[in-house]
Amino acid sequence: MGKKIGDAHVITVNCPDRTGLGCDICRIILDFGLYITKGDVTTDGVWCYIVLWVVPHYDTLRLRWSHLKNQLVSVCPSCSTYFVLNLMSPCPASTPVYLLKFFCLDRNGLLHDVTQVLTELELSIQTVKVTTTPDGRVLDLFFITDNMDLLHTEKRQEETRGKFRSVLGESCISCELQLAGPEYECHQNVLSDDMTKLKNVSVTFDNSLSPANTLLQIQCVDHRGLLYDVLRTLKDFDIKISYGRFSPQTQGHWDLDLFIQLKDGNKIVDLDKQNSLCSRLKAEMLHPLRVIITNRGPDAELLVANPVELSGKGRPRVFYDVTLSLKVLGICIFSAEIRRYTASGREWEVYRFLLDENCLFQLGSASARNEIVNKVRRTLMGW
């Protein structure tokens, strides 16, 4: 760990290797509100060694390092099972989903304060339904999972309810927590494609430097979660990393050098495969999130969309950052929900926020909408 405030903390992972491990590690680090400043990855195909330098992204972040370690250990293959011949495909137990329901008086920043409590308790939001009544009250339904896998215990449930009663104060009318029933379901629809405007980014492949690996070189603009976006793309393409080094070169720009190979151990020599991976990497690095404000009848609705991993995992902290941005801007949220949609063969997680018109912004104005979108996007991207 860093010796002084502001110094980078060093996270070291040394364990058996598997495809997608780097992506899962970066996702956990992003979920804990940490920013990766540089890193090294090396593997011999059996064992891997990962070193990451991280700093807290939020000034108010209270880190529980022991919990972070436990989360990282949970995604690493164990030594005892790695060398055992696996004759049956593992069938992982599904994580139970709980419904957190509370009814309270509305106020500015309420939704972000609730999200901050969920984050501190290491409870992940799966989907949300927020409704504001005409008399200024709010009914919030949060479908959540517990990263600590303890929410089935009475102690953990009482701790959760107590935290929410504390942050809601006298405005809390009721607060309930229970296992989710049939009301929790996956909604599959079609999401319209939006325009993709690629900026100055370089992705190149080189098969001449290594007899066993393809060198993937990326030069791009920095953003929070950049390494996660690159590694989750490689994971979705079933590509392994043999060695990697990444660090900022100039202000706001990164260089990534990754020696990669297909899951079967071969280099990536097929041009169609290279072009497909190149296009996806450019899109994911520059547009990991899409942010727009559109009309929903007479009202303004903020839409934030991000792609879902093939494993089914969404991007961490999106709901937290959006509600933080709107709280800073002084904009109340009339209703909110999270749904999953399918477009062009990919699954997307879409956050919908119906904005309260009683704020300092003229929500019908194009300039006001641009200011809101820019604030939300910059918060999400860490700019």
Structure tokens at 145: 């999972």
More confidently predicted of 194 and 378: 378
203: nearest Cα among 281, 135, 136: 281
Q: What is the pLDDT of residues 320-361, one digit of tens each?
A: 999 999 999 999 888 899 999 888 778 999 999 999 887 888
| CB-CB contact of 172 with 114 (8 Å) | no
Can you tell me the distance from the alpha carbon of 146 to that of 157, in angstroms, rounded to the nearest whole number? 11
333: nearest Cα among 81, 132, 153, 114: 132
Q: Residue 238, by phi and psi: left (phi above 0), alpha (psi -120 to 50) or beta?
A: left
**Residue 362: how many other CB atoms lie within 10 Å:** 12
Q: Find all residues with CB under 8 Å of 305, minimum gap 6, and list them.
A: 191, 289, 290, 348, 349, 350, 351
SS3 375: helix
For residue 237, what pLDDT is reported? 94
For residue 131, what pLDDT is reported? 83
CA dihedral 10, 15, 18, 19 (to 10 degrees): 10
SS3 1: coil
- Which phi and psi angles does 166 have, rounded to 5°? -70, -45
Return the beta strands (E) in 21-136 as ranges: 34-43, 47-56, 98-105, 123-132
Q: What is the pLDDT of residues 128-148, one digit of tens each?
A: 888 888 788 888 888 999 988
In CATH terms, are 9-81+196-286 and 97-190+289-381 the same topology? yes
Superfamily of the domain at 97-190+289-381: ACT domain (3.30.70.260)
For residue 206, what pLDDT is reported? 95
Q: What is the pLDDT of residues 73-90, one digit of tens each?
A: 988 887 544 433 333 334
| CB-CB contact of 50 with 29 (8 Å) | no
Integer CA distances (angstroms), 12 to 20, 163, 247, 373, in order: 17, 33, 16, 37
Q: Hey, where are the domains in the chain? A: 9-81+196-286, 97-190+289-381
Can you tell me the distance from the alpha carbon of 182 to that of 61, in angstroms, rounded to the nearest whole number? 35
For residue 182, what pLDDT is reported? 61
**Residue 306: how many other CB atoms lie within 10 Å:** 20
Can you tell me the distance from the alpha carbon of 241 to that of 350, in angstroms, rounded to the nearest whole number? 30
For residue 184, what pLDDT is reported? 58
Can you tell me the distance from the alpha carbon of 340 to that of 143, in angstroms, rounded to the nearest whole number? 14
pLDDT (mean) for 162-177: 88
What is the chain's mean pLDDT, rounded?
Answer: 84
pLDDT (mean) for 242-270: 87
Domain 9-81+196-286 class?
alpha beta
For residue 380, what pLDDT is reported? 92
pLDDT (mean) for 245-257: 81
Crossing angle of helices 110-120/154-168, nearest 10°?
150
Q: What is the pLDDT of residues 19-35, one digit of tens each?
A: 899 999 999 999 998 98
For residue 93, what pLDDT is reported? 52
3-state SS, 265-330, equals: CCCCCCHHHHHHHHHHHHHHHHCCCEEEEEEECCEEEEEEEEECCCCCCCCCCHHHHHHHHHHHHC
Whether the per-residue pLDDT at 218 is higher than 70: the answer is: yes
Where is mean pLDDT largest: 93-107, 312-326, 357-371?
Answer: 312-326
